Structure 1
Amino acid sequence: MSANILVSNGTCYSAAGEKLDDSFIPCGNAAFGAQTCCGAGDICLKNNACFGYHGEGYGSQLTYQAGCTDPEYKDQSCPNKQGIDQPWIALTLCDDSPAWAPCPQEGSPTTLRPGSYCSCTVAASTTIVISGSSVIPNVASLPRATGQTISFFPGNAPTAPSNPPPAQTTGNNNGQSSSGSAGNSSPAETGSRTSGSPGSSSGTSAGQSPNQTDPAGDSSTGGGSKGGLNTGAKIGIGIGAAVGALILLITLIVLYRKRRRGGAAGGVGKPGRSKTVHLPSPRASEADSHPVSEVEGKAARPWSMRNELEGSGPGDRSGVAKGKEEKNGVGGVGGANAPAELPGEGVSVPHHQLSPVAELPGSERWDVERGRV
């Protein structure tokens, strides 16, 4: 075993030649001298006492004594159990004085468990194990196994001698063999106090909780808390990340749908857009306003301007119609295959409906009306 004075090392005994269970480990390195023994992960107190939480309910806050690393059980580090031949005994604070009385355990258990009921009403009439203090000061916080570093409370760390002893191979269990670092932070010193209820003969009482802080959280090895996030923090981070991703996904979907609706609406009936309709330009004869007849003031028909210009008279229109019929291969106007007559074609028009252009001076019609022809 390593010669590191801050490492728990050694074999524990409850009496001369009687080994304790492997769940008990030394409060120091037995290579540097005999050490008091307490439960793994518990608090080593002064006066060879121990404190720890074991089980639930009454007696779970346990102040007790167990053993030491001296196989002959003669060293001052070995607790005085006042003749109680058990692997460990509980301690209870007397009601009338700062004194602690021993409490035998039913069934003489070899491992720690909630203490049996016990009380000390009058210290003068009870056997006393520790006196002079209602609070037992803390010394060190034990790791979970031998071979690991012990966290000592301020002012209680041991000092290595100038000539360290050779490494030993003794141990109380199959704990780790590697030594820890000496640079561990030390918890604040408080103390331990447990008192029993009156009218009882054995065990410890949970009526008063011990006045101490658990230094395990400050320990870097053994039973100390490990660095990093706890389970609750990790769960919170996971939930937060999932919610954030969901919100982002919903936002992207909403934006995408809005964009699609906007693009579809822009193609039909979008404001600001109009369709330009190109109309064919009218013919010159239809674009101009129709002339008015000199007789009745009615608008002259456009075809009259074509048929009566250049000296053509009304009689010539029948010839035009006939020529069209012969061209189309129809013997008469009423032929079955004759195309429908357009308005004004092949119809005799009264004189007053003729275009003014045909009645201009010098025309044939002009001369007829005036008796010149």
Structure 2
Amino acid sequence: MSDIDIFISNGTCYAGIKLLADPLMIPCGNVAVDHIACCQASDFCLESSVCFNADFGVTYISGCTDPKYDHPSCPNKFSDTKTPWLGLSYCNRTSNEWVLCDQKKKPATLTQPDPCYCPTDEADRSMIISQSSIIQPTATLPTSVGESIQFFKGYYPSFKSSAATTTASITDTAITSSSVSSSPTDSAVAPATATDTNATDIPGNSPPSNESGLSSGAKIGTIVGAAAGTLVMVAIIGGLLSLWRRRRQQQLQNEEEARAVDNFIHGGTKSGTASEADPLNLGLAVGTPKDASHPNTPTLSELDCKAARPWSLRSELDPDASTRSSSTAGHGAVGQARPAPSELAAHPIAELPG
């Protein structure tokens, strides 16, 4: 027994005596523990072997795991023993009674139900289940047999011999089921709507509130977190201000340099001197440059009484003149030009007598 998983859906479902139900109809527990009612996969199992389908908003009964269909967990289908499932409609403003509604096409699984209502006259109510308007849920079924069931608080299973430790999910909810309408005109077991006061709904219990308020540790944590957040904000603002000051200072420096360059280029006087020193060491020329130096090349006039001797005469009188002249010219003297011969050199000169 200890190896049996009592928290899974396990077993075969029957819609009547030896009448197998559709495979989508699965047990609301493990048949190894005991016979139990069956509902469609993924639906809610309720008390009194009742089921609820959220897709169509249908409260219904289906079958059980007992092939003889005589176990207390097998829902009473009265004369409709071969009907796979029967819808339920709550009788409003009366004692806690639900009437069963047959489905003409007898579908094997849940579909949009046929119209169903509770007769006003109690004498006309033939198939009745005694249950309050709020039928408590016991479990939520998985999608197939062999998977885990989510049992609701107070309904997790145990072996009859000893209680088993439960590890199933526990949820506090209640399923409010009611008839769609109490009037006999075109009423059906239909999905619940927000405006239908007679519709079936599944309210959830809100978690209990913490009446004692925050603990001292939580308060301290809140204060520390707020202080840390304030410090971070101050650091961010300080960084932004510092960045703005640096950019502003750089902008002012750039503007000052631009003005200095403009004054340096356009601020010179007529005499050619700059109004201020080169601020950025641009090396620009300022003022009017002086004329380039020229070699000293004196020119002899024809009427110059102190003209140099003709070359021919100098060569005769000064034997070293030609040597010096050629030596000087041969070494490429800079800034000295040989004087041009005068017109006297063009006339022959007689030697002086004696």
TM over 0.5, yes or no? yes
Mapped to 1, the partners of 2:19 and 2:109 lie a distance apart of 14
- The equivalent residue for 1:259 is none
Mapped to 2, the partners of 1:285 and 1:163 lie a distance apart of 127
**Pairwise CA distance, 1:53:** 2.0
Moved more, 189-198 or 38-47: 189-198
- The equivalent residue for 1:210 is 200
Say whether residues 1:8 and 2:9 are aligned partners: yes
Mapped to 1, the partners of 2:128 and 2:10 lie a distance apart of 26
- Residue identity over aligned pairs, in percent, reads 30
- Residue of 160, 174, 187 corresponding to 2:171: 187
Mapped to 2, the partners of 1:48 and 1:114 lie a distance apart of 21
- The equivalent residue for 1:240 is none
Contact 1:119 1:205 in 2 (8 A): no
Contact 1:68 1:78 in 2 (8 A): yes
Unaligned 5+ runs, structure 2: 206-257, 262-278, 312-337, 347-354
Mapped to 2, the partners of 1:86 and 1:321 lie a distance apart of 156
Contact 2:156 2:166 in 1 (8 A): no
- The equivalent residue for 1:126 is 125
Say whether residues 1:70 and 2:70 are aligned partners: no
- The equivalent residue for 1:146 is 145
**Pairwise CA distance, 1:137:** 1.0
Amino acid at match of 1:276: G
Q: Deviations over 1:310-367 (max 9, x none)?
A: xx9971576599974459xxx9xxxxxxxxxxxxxxxxxxxxxxxxxxxxxxxxxxxx
- Residue of 79, 84, 87 corresponding to 2:84: 87
Mapped to 2, the partners of 1:321 and 1:30 lie a distance apart of 151
Mapped to 2, the partners of 1:35 and 1:148 lie a distance apart of 16
Mapped to 1, the partners of 2:8 and 2:179 lie a distance apart of 32
In 2 relative to 1, CA 285–76 (structure 1 residues): closer, same or farther, beyond 3 Å? closer
- The equivalent residue for 2:108 is 110
SS of the residue 1:113 aligns to = coil
In 2 relative to 1, CA 100–317 (structure 1 residues): closer, same or farther, beyond 3 Å? farther
SS of the residue 2:15 aligns to = strand
- The equivalent residue for 2:304 is 315
Counting matched residue pairs gives 235
- Shift >3 Å, 4+ stretches: 161-164, 200-203, 205-209, 269-274, 277-286, 316-327
Amino acid at match of 2:77: K
**Pairwise CA distance, 1:24:** 0.6
TM-score, length of structure 1 as denominator length? 0.54
Contact 2:176 2:203 in 1 (8 A): no
Mapped to 1, the partners of 2:310 and 2:152 lie a distance apart of 134
Moved more, 37-46 or 124-133: 124-133
Unaligned 5+ runs, structure 1: 55-59, 165-180, 216-268, 287-301, 332-373
Q: Deviations over 1:278-319 (max 9, x none)?
A: 799979999xxxxxxxxxxxxxxx989x789xxx99715765
Mapped to 1, the partners of 2:291 and 2:89 lie a distance apart of 127
**Pairwise CA distance, 1:26:** 0.2
Mapped to 1, the partners of 2:141 and 2:203 lie a distance apart of 14
Q: Deviations over 1:180-219 (max 9, x none)?
A: x94232111312313122214884144433242489xxxx
Q: Deviations over 1:2-35 (max 9, x none)?
A: 6211111100000001000000100011011111
Q: Let me know the Cα RMSD of the aligned residues.
A: 4.1
Contact 1:14 1:68 in 2 (8 A): yes
SS of the residue 2:135 aligns to = coil
Contact 1:102 1:129 in 2 (8 A): yes
Mapped to 2, the partners of 1:37 and 1:25 lie a distance apart of 5
Contact 1:67 1:78 in 2 (8 A): yes
Amino acid at match of 1:194: S
In 2 relative to 1, CA 285–87 (structure 1 residues): closer, same or farther, beyond 3 Å? closer
- The equivalent residue for 1:224 is none
Q: Deviations over 1:229-252 (max 9, x none)?
A: xxxxxxxxxxxxxxxxxxxxxxxx
Contact 2:50 2:59 in 1 (8 A): yes
How is 1:245-260 mapped onto 2 (pairs within 5 angstroms)?
Answer: none
Contact 1:92 1:205 in 2 (8 A): no
Mapped to 1, the partners of 2:133 and 2:37 lie a distance apart of 21
In 2 relative to 1, CA 70–95 (structure 1 residues): closer, same or farther, beyond 3 Å? same
In 2 relative to 1, CA 203–162 (structure 1 residues): closer, same or farther, beyond 3 Å? same
Moved more, 130-139 or 26-35: 130-139
In 2 relative to 1, CA 284–200 (structure 1 residues): closer, same or farther, beyond 3 Å? closer
